[in-house]
Amino acid sequence: MTIFDAPSRDACIARRERTNTPLQALLLMNEPEYFKAAAHKAKTLMAEEGSEDEKLIRVHETVTTHKPSERSLKVLKEGLTTFREDGDDHFAWTMIVHTLLNQDSFKNKQ
Amino acid sequence: MFDLQTRRQFLNTTGMGLGSTILGNIAAQAATPKGGVGDPQTYHLPKAPAKRVIFLFMAGAPSQLDLFDYKPELHKRFKEELPESIHKGQRVTAMTKGRAKIVAPSMFKFNPHGQSGMHLSEVLPHLGSVADDLALIKSTSTTAINHDPGKTLFCTGTEIPGKASMGAWLSYGLGRMNENLPDFIVLNSAFWSGDSQNVQGLYSRLWGSGFLPSKHQGVPFQPSGDPVLFLSNPSNVSPKTRGKMLDLVTKLNEEEMAKIGDPEIQTTIAQQEMAFRMQASIPDLTDLTEENEIINEKLYGPEVKKSGSFARNCLLARRMAERGVRFIQLFHRGWDHHVGLPKKVRGQAYDVDQPCAGLINDLKQRGMLDDTLVVFAGEFGRTTYGQGKLARDNYGRDHHPKCFSTWMAGGGIKGGTTYGETDDYSYNVVKDEVPVRDFSATILHQLGIDHDRLTFPFMGLDQKLTGVNPAKVVRGILS
C-alpha cells in the first residue's frame, strides 16, 4: 500500500492524496500474487460453459461491472489470438484477465 | 498535452452556466502552459543557466547556530535572558511557550574557508572545502512554526496541503528531458545518525502534483533494498508479450477515455508506458558495478557503500542528473534537536557533510556543476534560546522561523557568497531577508522560468508556486 501512497494510519487524514505513478503501474503489471489471481481466474473461466465471445463478455463484466462495447470485444478477441502465439490457451486467457486487471477503469473509482 | 478536464474541474473553473466553447478555451489553457520562448506572454526567460536541480531537503530543521550562522559574541551571553527587544513577544511553539528564554551559545568552533573566508562550523569540514562554490543564505525566513506546514510550504509554496510541488511545476513548465525516467524522482534516506526517537513524517504531498495533472508528481524510490519494486515481468511473460499486453490495455483505456474524458486516464496510459521503459532504464541507473568504488568513497565518504544512506542517494542523484532527470529531491530526516543537540548535530553533519561536498566535486569534475543547481535547505531554523537542560556542551533548541541558513551551488550561482545578515542572537534578519517564496522564485529563475508567469487556473486563482504575495529573485547570489 506504500506504493499506492496509502496513509500510514499513524494519524488521521481528511482525504487521500491523489497519486498515479509508474511505480503503481509496475506493481499491477508484475506483483506475483496479482498475476496469480489472473491465472486463477483464467483457469476457472476456461472450465465454464459458453463460447469464446461469451467468456470474454462475462469476464469483462466480472472485472468492470459492465459488458464490453463491440469495439472492446473485438480488441479483446484480437488480444486472445495474439497471446496464443506466445503460449498455451491458459496463458493467453491469463494475459486477457491480467490486461483487464490493469485497466484504468478497474483501478480507479469514477 | 491533453485538453481535458474532469467534471469537478469543469464545475470549479467555469461555473455551471457557461457553454462548451468557453470550456474548450479554459481547458486548453489549463492543460498547456502558455507560450513558447520568444512569446512576450511566455513564462520562459531568455536564459536558463541550470538544466536540472538536486534539492537536498533537511527535514526536521537544522540549527543555523551550530552549522552556518557564526555568532562568536554569543558566548559572553551564556545563560542570559534573551532581551524583549529581540524576541518582541513573538509567537513560539507550545513546547517553550511561557518559559524563560535563556541564551544557549553554540559549543562548536567555526573556521573560515576558501577565498571568501566563509565561516562554517567545525562539524562541516568537507563542505568548507567547497565554500568557494557555495552561496550561503543566512537570512532565509518562513511563516511556519511547525514541521508539517513548514515542509509543505517549502515544497509546494503554501502551508495548505494539496498544492503542486516544485518538481511538479518544473515537469509541467519545462516538459521532459528524457523518455526513459521520470522527470521528478524523490530519494529518502533509510537511516540517519542524529535522532531516531523524534522522527518527522514525510508525506507524498511534498512531491505531489496537486491541481496539476498527476503525471507531473514526483516518483519516490524505496529507501532501502531495491529502489524500484516489481521491475521484472512474471517469469513466463516475455518482453514481447508485455508489449502486446500494454498495447491492448492502452486500447481499452483509450476507449474509456473517449467515453468519459477523465484526463487521469491519460496519466494511467502515460505511466504504464513509463513503467515499461523503466523496466530497462532503472537497472541501468541503479547498477553501480560500472562505478569506481575507490573514487566514490573518496568523494562521498564511507557511507556511500550502504544502500539507503544519504551518501548513496547523492551518488544516485548524480547518476540521475547524467540521465536527464530534471528534479531530484533528497529527504534526510533527523534534524529536530529539541534536546541533546550537540551529539545529534554531529551525527547529522557526519551524514551529510562529505556527501554534499562530494556531490559538488563530482558534478564539477564531470562538467555538470555549471548547469546543475544544488540546493540545501530545511523547513526552518532553531532558537538561540535553549530548550531542556542547558550546559555549555549540552543543550536543545526549539523551532525558529524568523531566520535560518540555506545554501545553493552550481547552476549560475555565485560561489563564495554569504548573503543576508541576522542580528547578534541569530533571531531576526537585519539585512536582505529571503522568504521561502523568494527562494523558490530564484530556483525557477535559474531554470529559465519567470515565477510570476508560470501559472495554472485552479479555484478561481492563477496558482503559482510562489503564491499570491509578491516574490523576487535573489539577485545577490547569482553570477
pLDDT of B296:
97
For B450-476, the pLDDT digits (tens) are 999 999 999 899 999 999 999 999 999
Residue B446 lies in a domain: yes
**Residues facing B372 on adjacent strands:** B52
Residue B441 lies in a domain: yes
Question: Has residue B34 got a pLDDT over 90?
Answer: no
How many percent of chain B have pLDDT more than 90?
81
Best of A15, A17, A61, A71 to substitute, by most chain B Cβ atoms within 10 angstroms, is A17
Q: Work out whether the CA dihedral B432, B435, B441, B444 comes out positive or negative.
A: positive
For B75-109, the pLDDT digits (tens) are 999 999 999 999 988 888 888 888 889 999 999 99
If 0-12 CB within 10 Å is exposed, 13-18 middle and 19+ buried, where does residue B207 land? buried
pLDDT of B49:
97
Best of B215, B252, B272 to substitute, by most chain A Cβ atoms within 10 angstroms, is B252
How many percent of chain B have pLDDT more than 70?
91
Residue B469 in 3-state DSSP?
A: coil
pLDDT of B28:
41
Best of B245, B267, B285 to substitute, by most chain A Cβ atoms within 10 angstroms, is B245
Q: Is A9 on the interface with B (CB under 8 A)?
A: no
**For residues B422 and B119, is the Cβ–Cβ distance under 8 A?**
no
For B248-275, the pLDDT digits (tens) are 999 999 999 999 888 889 999 999 999 9
Lowest mean pLDDT among B202-206, B327-331, B394-398, B428-432: B202-206
Q: Give me B207's grid cell.
A: 512531491
CATH of residue B36: 3.40.720
**For residues B429 and B422, is the Cβ–Cβ distance under 8 A?**
yes
In this complex, which of A19, A76, A105 lies closest to B214 when CB atoms are compared? A19
For B117-133, the pLDDT digits (tens) are 999 999 999 999 999 99
How many structural domains is chain B composed of?
Answer: 1
Mean pLDDT value across chain B: 91
For B227-248, the pLDDT digits (tens) are 899 999 999 999 999 999 999 9
Task: Tell me the DSSP string of B103-171.
Answer: B----S-EEEETTTTEEEETT-HHHHHTGGGEEEEEEEE-S--SHHHHHHHHHHSSSSTTSPPHHHHHH
In this complex, which of B205, B255, B260 lies closest to A71 when CB atoms are compared? B255
Per the CB < 8 Å rule, is B271 touching A20? yes
Residue B250 lies in a domain: no
pLDDT of B2:
43
Per the CB < 8 Å rule, is B237 touching A11? no
pLDDT of B33:
61
> Residue B214: which domain range?
30-228+303-477
Residue B88 lies in a domain: yes
Instruction: Specify the amino acid at residue B256.
Output: E
pLDDT of B22:
36
Per the CB < 8 Å rule, is B256 touching A105? yes
Per the CB < 8 Å rule, is A3 touching B229? yes
Cβ contacts (< 8 Å) between A95 and chain B: which residues? 237, 241, 244-245
Cβ contacts (< 8 Å) between A18 and chain B: which residues? 208-209, 214
For A15-49, the pLDDT digits (tens) are 777 788 999 999 999 999 999 999 999 999 999 99
pLDDT of B117:
97
Residue B269 lies in a domain: no
In this complex, which of A29, A30, A75 lies closest to B252 when CB atoms are compared? A75
pLDDT of B89:
84
Q: Work out whether the CA dihedral B264, B265, B270, B272 comes out positive or negative.
A: positive
Per the CB < 8 Å rule, is B219 touching A21? yes
What is the number of alpha carbons within 13 Å of residue B382 lying toward its C-beta? 31
CA-wise closest residue to B456 among B258, B185, B216: B216
pLDDT of B7:
52
Taking CA–CA distances from A106, the nearest residue in chain B reads B253
Question: Has residue B15 got a pLDDT over 60?
Answer: no
